[in-house]
């Protein structure tokens, strides 16, 4: 990609009652946009009747964007199928534990269905061959927010049996790996493997989840291979990776936000076939805007390839909760850049006048006229045009990693810590506290972790950990690393089978403590605050007790331990604490890791990196409606937005929802 930021929008002219392309492109241009994403989800428009293709609306967009000097990203349309495809073969709809999905909603597809695959292949070939030749088509998005959709269909189960056979060889080994003897679930012939939809063995179901994520990733790779047959070398392949969605409000309204690690797709696996990672990140706004989701999602997606990524969808005015206050839309945009985004595209251009997402509003309201959101987008567009070559290609070299693991997530759904505390709740508690302290980190899939790259590694509820990984972590600490692990880390192996010794398995020497009891905290306190959800009763051997439990009977046990081990240091946090307590641990651990702790904390957010020119940039993001003044923490910087220069100690004024981009002035 060249040294410009992508700034644009998803665009669905086919949803409009009347042809507005000229007016739309003109408005986009006036807002400084340089790219549109089209075609994903429009299969029934592109192929109205099986085998007959109508790319006229694509052509109109291609023509007008070319004329306007804009780029286009073409999405394969496969994530929403036309009704004729389901009439042709009802098995196109996925079968799940709740039965066969009904036609209507997007996505709920059986990705293994041959009819679907052959029709999808045809439409992809037609669309990509039709568009790849255009010079301003810069890349392709394959499918959209792909997941396994809870597939329990016959094909999926048959392939899973083959996979188990290959992995375990004998039923005996399978039984032992998952403790299937429990409740007479053991099998002694492969054909006795029961329907997984009734399975209550959490380990085996987690393995099924792992397998289904693999199949979903393979489906993406299959699409990428097809696209690769047609695309030019300079055209990228991307995909829109999404996060676990947290709902609030009405069932029917499409509300909620990007909350945590995606349970139904492994991002690291999925991204292997991509030339650039892409994502959508939605988040609370107005009084609830913290920037945490933008940072978390960006850190996760950037870490997949340790490179810049596309925000293929970001929110304009979606939902009544998210009508932005003045300044917030701009703050969102810079938040993405501060994480390393190569650009952003709004979802979407205009609000849709009918259909499920009628009130997932676009940049334009239903009246299709200029409005405050559109005008603020124009400010962003103009700034990016001016500063693009300074801002693009921001790279980071973080010294802290937080480790994500789909398998632990799946297993903890079956062996929950608490009704009200999920894997992602623990993850966000540990991530968000880092974020709020302005300790930047990579969010690294466990399969992508190279410990030696980091000074400090955080493991939130890393429940399933193969012995190989445990040895790596042991070596990491021995060699000088700082490990901070929460409760429920290192309890079970990769099949969610609990290790048959004291916890933390293989790492007792590293942590200098062991534990074989845990409890509901009840009235237990730690560090003066209530412990919540769980309290593992830690027995320090060589470790020091950083915080003990305040409780009549559990007072003999430690709640948080610290152990100097080899060149490094290992912390174990045995219970869910108040963030204040976690901050103290992080501060101490950062000290051990010789990581400098910034003087400011949320709502003042500092995120840094190095741009294409090798200059150091510090984003200063203010997530507050209050005005504030801070003292410049850098030796000598220039604000790219205002041109002001500051030296260490100079006062910097922060307005509500304000942004400064401070470039270090080379001496």
Contact set for its own copies, span 252-311 (CB under 8 A): 252-253, 286-287
Size of the site for its own copies (CB under 8 A): 109
C-beta of 152: minimal distance to its own copies in Å? 10
Binding residues for its own copies restricted to 415-454, rule: CB under 8 A: 415-416, 418-419
Tokens encoding 13: 């002219």
149 lines the binding site for its own copies (CB under 8 A): no
155 lines the binding site for its own copies (CB under 8 A): no
98 lines the binding site for its own copies (CB under 8 A): no
500 lines the binding site for its own copies (CB under 8 A): yes
Residue selected from 117, 132, 352, 466 as contacting its own copies according to rule CB under 8 A: 352
Rounded to whole angstroms, the Cα distance separating 354 from 365 reads 13
**Nearer of residues 369 and 468 to its own copies, judged by Cβ:** 369
**Nearer of residues 502 and 631 to its own copies, judged by Cβ:** 502
3-class DSSP assignment, residue 109: strand
**Nearer of residues 236 and 325 to its own copies, judged by Cβ:** 325
Only segment of 364-372, 382-390, 463-471, 611-619 that touches its own copies (CB under 8 A): 364-372
Contact map string, positions 56 to 85, toward its own copies, x by CB under 8 A: ---------------------x--xxxxx-
**Nearer of residues 180 and 662 to its own copies, judged by Cβ:** 180
511 lines the binding site for its own copies (CB under 8 A): no
C-beta of 497: minimal distance to its own copies in Å? 4
Residue selected from 320, 471, 596, 647 as contacting its own copies according to rule CB under 8 A: 320
Rounded to whole angstroms, the Cα distance separating 42 from 36 reads 15
475: Cβ contacts below 8 Å, ≥ 6 apart: 451
β pairing state of 278-281 and 309-315: parallel
Binding residues for its own copies restricted to 561-620, rule: CB under 8 A: none
629 lines the binding site for its own copies (CB under 8 A): no
Binding residues for its own copies restricted to 23-42, rule: CB under 8 A: 41-42
Residue selected from 51, 69, 135, 523 as contacting its own copies according to rule CB under 8 A: 523
198: Cβ contacts below 8 Å, ≥ 6 apart: none
Only segment of 65-73, 339-347, 391-399, 517-525 that touches its own copies (CB under 8 A): 517-525
666 lines the binding site for its own copies (CB under 8 A): no
367 lines the binding site for its own copies (CB under 8 A): yes
β pairing state of 341-347 and 278-281: unpaired
Rounded to whole angstroms, the Cα distance separating 183 from 201 reads 10
**Nearer of residues 372 and 598 to its own copies, judged by Cβ:** 372
Binding residues for its own copies restricted to 164-223, rule: CB under 8 A: 176, 178-189, 191-195, 197-203
Among residues 46, 43, 44, the alpha carbon closest in space to that of 58 is found at: 46
Only segment of 9-17, 159-167, 468-476, 610-618 that touches its own copies (CB under 8 A): 9-17
**Nearer of residues 13 and 298 to its own copies, judged by Cβ:** 13
Rounded to whole angstroms, the Cα distance separating 241 from 229 reads 23
C-beta of 415: minimal distance to its own copies in Å? 6
86 lines the binding site for its own copies (CB under 8 A): yes
549 beta partners: 526
Tell me the DSSP string of 186-206: --SSGGGPPPGGG---HHHHH
C-beta of 361: minimal distance to its own copies in Å? 9
Angle at CA of residue 116, ends 110 and 120, nearest 5°: 125
3-class DSSP assignment, residue 261: coil
Residue selected from 56, 170, 479, 516 as contacting its own copies according to rule CB under 8 A: 516
408 phi and psi, to 5 degrees? -65, -40
Q: How far is CA 537 from the centre of its chain?
A: 33
β pairing state of 616-622 and 659-664: antiparallel
346: Cβ contacts below 8 Å, ≥ 6 apart: 8, 9, 10, 313, 314, 315, 316, 362, 363, 377
Only segment of 345-353, 382-390, 476-484, 642-650 that touches its own copies (CB under 8 A): 345-353
**Nearer of residues 193 and 331 to its own copies, judged by Cβ:** 193
12: Cβ contacts below 8 Å, ≥ 6 apart: 38, 42, 348, 349, 350, 352
**Nearer of residues 534 and 560 to its own copies, judged by Cβ:** 534
Rounded to whole angstroms, the Cα distance separating 252 from 272 reads 34
Cα atoms in the Cβ-side hemisphere of radius 13 Å centred on 92:
24
């Amino acid at each position: 990609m060249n040294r410009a930021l992508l700034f644009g929008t998803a665009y669905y002219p086919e949803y409009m009652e009347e042809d507005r392309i000229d007016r739309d492109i003109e408005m986009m241009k006036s807002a400084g946009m340089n790219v549109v994403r089209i075609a994903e989800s429009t299969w029934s428009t592109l192929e109205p009747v099986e085998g007959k293709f109508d790319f006229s609306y694509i052509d109109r967009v291609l023509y007008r964007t070319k004329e306007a000097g804009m780029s286009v990203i073409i999405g394969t349309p496969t994530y929403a199928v036309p009704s004729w495809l389901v009439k042709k073969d009802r098995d196109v709809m996925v079968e799940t534990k709740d039965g066969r999905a009904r036609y209507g909603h997007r996505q709920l597809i059986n990705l293994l269905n041959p009819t679907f695959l052959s029709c999808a292949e045809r439409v992809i070939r037609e669309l990509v061959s039709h568009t790849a030749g255009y010079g301003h088509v810069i890349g392709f998005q394959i499918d959209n927010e792909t997941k396994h959709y809870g597939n329990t269909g016959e094909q999926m189960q048959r392939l899973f049996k083959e996979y188990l056979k290959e992995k375990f060889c004998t039923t005996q080994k399978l039984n032992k790996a998952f403790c299937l003897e429990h409740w007479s679930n053991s099998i002694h012939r492969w054909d006795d493997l029961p329907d997984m939809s009734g399975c209550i063995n959490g380990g085996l179901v987690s393995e099924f989840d792992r397998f289904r994520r693999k199949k979903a990733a393979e489906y993406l790779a299959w699409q990428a291979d097809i696209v690769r047959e047609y695309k030019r070398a300079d055209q990228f392949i991307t995909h829109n990776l999404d996060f676990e969605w947290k709902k609030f409000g009405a069932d029917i309204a499409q509300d909620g936000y990007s909350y945590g690690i995606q349970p139904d797709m492994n991002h690291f696996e999925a991204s292997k076939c991509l030339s650039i990672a892409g994502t959508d990140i939605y988040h609370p706004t107005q009084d609830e805007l913290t920037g945490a989701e933008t940072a978390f999602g960006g850190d996760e997606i950037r870490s997949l390839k340790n490179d810049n990524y596309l925000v293929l969808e970001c929110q304009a005015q979606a939902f009544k909760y998210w009508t932005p206050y003045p300044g917030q839309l701009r703050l969102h945009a810079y938040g993405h850049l501060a994480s390393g985004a190569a650009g952003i595209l709004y979802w979407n251009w205009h609000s849709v006048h009918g259909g499920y997402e009628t009130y997932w509003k676009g940049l334009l309201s239903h009246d299709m006229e200029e409005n405050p959101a559109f005008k603020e987008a124009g400010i962003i567009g103009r700034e990016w045009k001016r500063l693009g070559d300074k801002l693009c290609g921001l790279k980071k070299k973080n010294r802290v990693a937080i480790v994500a693991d789909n398998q632990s997530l799946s297993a903890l759904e079956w062996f929950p810590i608490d009704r009200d505390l999920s894997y992602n709740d623990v993850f966000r508690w540990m991530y968000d506290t880092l974020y709020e302290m302005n300790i930047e980190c990579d969010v690294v899939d466990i399969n992508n972790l190279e410990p030696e790259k980091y000074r400090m590694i955080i493991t939130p509820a890393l429940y399933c950990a193969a012995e190989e990984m445990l040895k790596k972590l042991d070596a990491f600490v021995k060699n000088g690393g700082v490990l901070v692990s929460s409760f429920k880390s290192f309890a079970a192996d990769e099949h969610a089978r609990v290790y048959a010794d004291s916890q933390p398995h293989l790492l007792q020497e590293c942590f200098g403590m062991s534990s074989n009891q845990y409890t509901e905290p009840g009235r237990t306190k730690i560090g003066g605050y209530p412990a919540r959800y769980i309290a593992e009763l830690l027995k320090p051997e060589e470790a020091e007790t950083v915080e003990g439990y305040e409780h009549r009977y559990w007072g003999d046990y430690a709640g948080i331990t610290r152990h100097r081990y080899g060149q490094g240091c290992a912390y174990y946090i045995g219970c869910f604490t108040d963030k204040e307590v976690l901050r103290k641990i992080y501060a101490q651990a950062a000290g051990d890791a010789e990581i400098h702790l910034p003087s400011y904390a949320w709502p003042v957010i500092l995120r840094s990196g190095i741009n294409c020119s090798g200059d150091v940039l510090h984003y200063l993001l203010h997530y507050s409606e209050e005005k504030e003044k801070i003292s410049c923490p850098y030796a000598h910087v220039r604000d790219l937005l205002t041109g002001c220069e500051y030296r260490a100690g100079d006062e910097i004024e922060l307005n509500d929802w304000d942004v400064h981009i401070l470039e270090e002035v080379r001496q």
